[in-house]
Amino acid sequence: GKSKAFKAAALIQRWYRRYMARLEMRRRCTWSIFQSIEYAGQQDQVKLHDFFSYLVDHFTPRNHNERDFLNRMFTEERFAQDSEMEKSSDFESIEVPDSYTGPRLSFPLLPDQATALVEAFRLKQQLHARYVLNLLYETRKHLAQLPNINRVSTCYSEEITVCGDLHGQLDDLIFIFYKNGLPSPERAYVFNGDFVDRGKESVEILMVLFAFMLVYPKEFHLNRGNHEDHMVNLRYGFTKEVLHKYKTHGKKILRTLQDVFCWLPLATLVDEKVLVLHGGISDRTDLEFLAKLDRHKIVSTLRCKMRKESTKQEEEKKTANQPSSAQEPTPWFLPQSRSLPSTPFHLRPDKAHRAGRSCSIPCPGALDRQELSRHARRSVDLELERCRQQAGFPGIKESEEPSPLASGPDPESGELLEPTQEEWRQVVDILWSDPMAQEGCKANTVRGGGCYFGPDVTEQLLERYSLQLLIRSHECKPEGYEFCHNRKVLTIFSASNYYEVGSNRGAYVKLGPSLTPHIVQYQANKGTHLLTMRQRISRVEESALRALRKKLFAHSSDLLDEFKKHDADKTGIISLSDWAAAVESVLHLGLPWRMLRPQLVNSSTDNMLEYKTWLESLAKEQLSRENIQSSLLEKLYRNRSNLETIFRIIDSDHSGFISLDEFRQTWKLFSSHMNIDISDNCICDLARSIDFNKDGQIDINEFLEAFRLVEQSCSEGRDSACPQSTDTSDGGPSSPDPH
Amino acid sequence: AIVADFHKKIKDAFEVFDHESNNTVDVREIGTIIRSLGCCPTEGELHDLIAEVEEEEPTGFIRYEKFLPVMTKVLLERKYRPIPEDVLLRAFEVLDTAKHGFLTKEELIKYMTEEGEPFSQEEMEEMLSAAIDPESNSINYKEYITMMVIDEN
């Protein structure tokens, strides 16, 4: 028989392995929470912009009131038409005071100055607006000369380092330069998009990246990411950061940035063998087409005015080909979406994500296309009529059906500056797509844009263009990198601790002449490496659970309704199993609720739960000392990001003010489609209470400040270790705004 | 009703690792799934379970359809019960031949990597990082167990 020691050891090992397994499960669940909240936020974003885009394209103003209103809301400020004169005078007239102690730039830029910038930012200095604008001006000039697909060779600089998403986390960039070395003719770099948003130092990152690009144009390369997009920036914090740091010139900087972003190259090709781009590919990705299109026409991948006369041709082309990837989405908010086969954008995220092979994009050929478009037009009109009424515009009788496709190109509207549908789609695909393990290619419903592409799609592309590896970013990975598709696709993500301190490592990849990828990982943070895995997981988990509880609270009313459905006898009690089912059907996050249950629901007796008490405990955690009705607060919380985005869209000139009336009108339009039931009075009262000087104007920042105050006072009295929220709309996982 | 409950629990745990949403998980994750459902099998027992749920010709993936009935049976029969605290304590005491109340780092490493179902280097390092008191270079196993048990709950 086995010795006693043997048996004892075996028992300890057995126990320990179980303990570690449970830890691993917690870690996975935590990750799911963060990811699903992040992607749900992105989806929301897409929905919001789809809504506005649709209005822009189909809402024909009937009178000057409507026209003015729309113009205020939707002015896209394009500066491609502006004269060079206007551009240069943008910054030359800005005076830099003698008291300014930050870095001063002179052009053409020298390597020393770029290095000095890094050092200055490390010391928390801020670059003066004049130099920012000057740098952006030079950057744009340089970028405009670059091809859509940069070609790089390892025979000049022996090694090329590719970095992924940084998302405003300057610490990570500084760490990379420290560990890997500063850019130089011998040390080439490719930064693969998503430099901004979420982290608090997006401006500084851009300055450094642009500076090095100007100094080492042959060795330093940038690809555009889906966050290099002013529409996305409205929601994810970059716009906020700029306006906060540059109170006088922020608007100008933002406008200039729009132009810089759309001139960023779309991809980089290393030695004709390794393709580096931000998101991914689709089964329609055509590198030759991508190389030839006018990339600067695509100002935002979220909103796109397209050339109308080509649309019809594109439609015909579409039905001829296999419909598989990112099609122009059917507006999700139209009644028709419910009666017709569900569009990709109407599926619940968890269902779509998990539906696997059974989820297919409706083939337009399956239904009579004429009937479809006629039906669509009728619904559109009805909906627009409702829009008008909601917004307080007088109802107009329509004599004929306006056709969305009929209006010819307006030669005055800068038609030449609009991309075609195919151009737009190709770019969206490479900036938004994610790889999946299954074969095939289907719409990326979780993000709301681009595709999921399978190993066969990768294989096809690599073969077609004689490539050996696809390097992309776009997705956070626990180890900072991940291979998939038979090691033909490498995801590289360089923002460590992205979701929370300790949540993940960052990584970069080095390629030598052999093009064998060599990965370097890191975690730019003080002290987490001293914690045991157990402690690290606990911290991150706590943060994820806080975010999740906040989301649960935000849906309290819906949850209550759903719980009641499971409680026919009105006992006030439901089973935990029912709880899990109810929560999923309300939140649509696709999370393993039964695994999470112990952390979300306090000790329940014999698998049953008093749901009202539980909802109350959630509320107690979230409510502030302010005397705001809980249901209003709940709804506002849920729509906080959307509210802020709406504000920023209305305030198109970034003045920081919008009128009560504008706010009210826009809110009505928006809330009716999102089925949000807050009475007009409530919103007005809230807005009015913010309008301190009673002049009919709302100071955006004050309004948002009110939310921050509420949020802060909620978390006061809790662990002060991590007072920031992990809501995707915030500036990101770092210390709270010192407002 | 109990079976239905088990089914839902098993499904939830399974789905955490079903990355492609095609009702399969990597065989290397099965241990984690089974353990997180409350079971505490030995490595040997785990291998037997895997053999039961694997395909005729192992693909490296386990299908949900095969996993569910096997796992349900395990839960119904309450197999592989977790180890009570006092039993665990006694196991440590057996290894603590000198009855010191603690094990030195070297002793722990020796037992965990040479006896029973030996730890991998990774497993050993991870355990050491949390268990060993760096000042004394030993593990006070009673305190260790208490800490771990609290953390679990």
Residue A29 has its nearest CB partner, among B16, B88, B90, at B16
**B40: distance to nearest CA of chain A, Å?**
6
Q: Given the structure tokens 């010192």, which residue do they identify?
A: A738
For an interface test with B, the pick among A2, A18, A453, A596 (most B C-beta atoms closer than 10 Å) comes out as A18
What pLDDT is recorded for position A219?
93
- Residues of A within 8 A of B130 (CB-CB) are 532-534
Residue A269, both tokens: 């090709």
CA–CA separation, A371 vs A421, rounded Å?
22
What pLDDT is recorded for position A619?
78
Give residues 175 to 214 of A whose Cβ lies within 8 Å of B: none
For A43-74, b where at least 16 C-beta lie within 10 A, e where not — what string?
Answer: bbbbbbbbbbbbbebbbeeeeeebeebeebbb
Chain A nearest-CA residue for B129: A532
What pLDDT is recorded for position A347?
26
Alpha helices in A601-735 (DSSP H): 611-622, 630-638, 640-650, 660-673, 680-690, 700-715
- For chain B, the average pLDDT equals 89
Give residues 413 to 442 of A whose Cβ lies within 8 Å of B: 436-438
Residue A17 has its nearest CB partner, among B33, B35, B152, at B35
What pLDDT is recorded for position A636?
59
pLDDT range class, residue B129, cuts 50, 70, 90? confident
- Residues of A within 8 A of B152 (CB-CB) are 19, 22
**A23: distance to nearest CA of chain B, Å?**
9
Residue B40 has its nearest CB partner, among A8, A18, A532, at A18
Residue B117 has its nearest CB partner, among A13, A354, A532, at A13
With CB atoms and an 8 Å threshold, state whether B92 touches A12: yes
A510 strand-pairing partners: A161, A518
Contacts of B99 (CB under 8 A, 6+ apart): B93
CA–CA separation, A614 vs A552, rounded Å?
11
**pTM of structure:** 0.66
A598 prior amide bond cis, ω within 30: no
**B53: distance to nearest CA of chain A, Å?**
19
A494 φ, ψ to 5°?
-105, 5
What pLDDT is recorded for position A154?
84
Residue B127 has its nearest CB partner, among A9, A16, A21, at A16
Size of interface A-B (CB pairs under 8 A): 134
What pLDDT is recorded for position A556?
85
For an interface test with A, the pick among B89, B115, B142 (most A C-beta atoms closer than 10 Å) comes out as B115
Identify the sign of the CA torsion A178, A184, A186, A191.
positive
Strand A274-276, strand A267-270: pairing: antiparallel
Chain B nearest-CA residue for A538: B151
B16-46 pLDDT, tens digit per residue, is 888 777 888 989 899 999 999 989 999 999 9
What pLDDT is recorded for position B119?
93
What pLDDT is recorded for position A172?
95
List the single range of A376-385, A593-602, B53-62, B81-90 with lowest mean pLDDT: A376-385
CA–CA separation, A647 vs A667, rounded Å?
9
With CB atoms and an 8 Å threshold, state whether B21 touches A16: no
Give me the catalytic one of A167, A227, A278, A296: A227
Residue A114's Cβ-count burial label (10 Å; 0-12, 13-18, 19+) is buried
CA–CA separation, A56 vs A50, rounded Å?
10
What pLDDT is recorded for position A331?
39
Residue A555 falls in the annotated catalytic set = no
**B27: distance to nearest CA of chain A, Å?**
14
**A351: distance to nearest CA of chain B, Å?**
10
Q: Is A577 on the interface with B (CB under 8 A)?
A: yes
* pLDDT < 70 regions, chain A: 1, 40-90, 156-157, 303-417, 525-534, 603-605, 622-653, 656, 662-696, 698-739
What pLDDT is recorded for position A327?
35
